[in-house]
């Protein structure tokens, strides 16, 4: 798979995991569950996906910020 395909896949997974993490957090808050493990695991996975996403798009972000300063 090419880098662009991996980037799109990571972006799609990131969106899905953000939504699931939010829904599980809402369920956790409503049912007052203190140690609700699925929410925690989805949150950690979302953080890892976000780090990979920033790593893959780091060059684009770097160029954007340096062009906007000029």
Whole-angstrom CA distances from 54 to 21, 22, 25, 70 are: 19, 21, 24, 23
* pLDDT tens-digit map of 3-35: 888 889 999 999 999 999 999 999 999 998 888
**Per the confidence metrics, is the pTM higher than 0.85?**
no
Q: Residue 18 belongs to what domain range? A: 3-69
Domain count, the chain: 1
What mean pLDDT is reported for the chain? Answer: 89
Q: How confident is the model at residue 70 (pLDDT cuts 50, 70, 90)?
A: low
């Amino acid at each position: 798979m090419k880098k662009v395909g991996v980037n799109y896949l990571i972006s799609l997974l990131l969106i899905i995991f953000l939504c699931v993490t939010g829904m599980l957090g809402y369920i956790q808050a409503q049912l007052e569950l203190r140690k609700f493990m699925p929410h925690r695991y989805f949150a950690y996975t979302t953080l890892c996906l976000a780090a990979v996403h920033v790593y893959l798009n780091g060059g684009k972000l770097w160029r954007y910020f340096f062009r906007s300063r000029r």
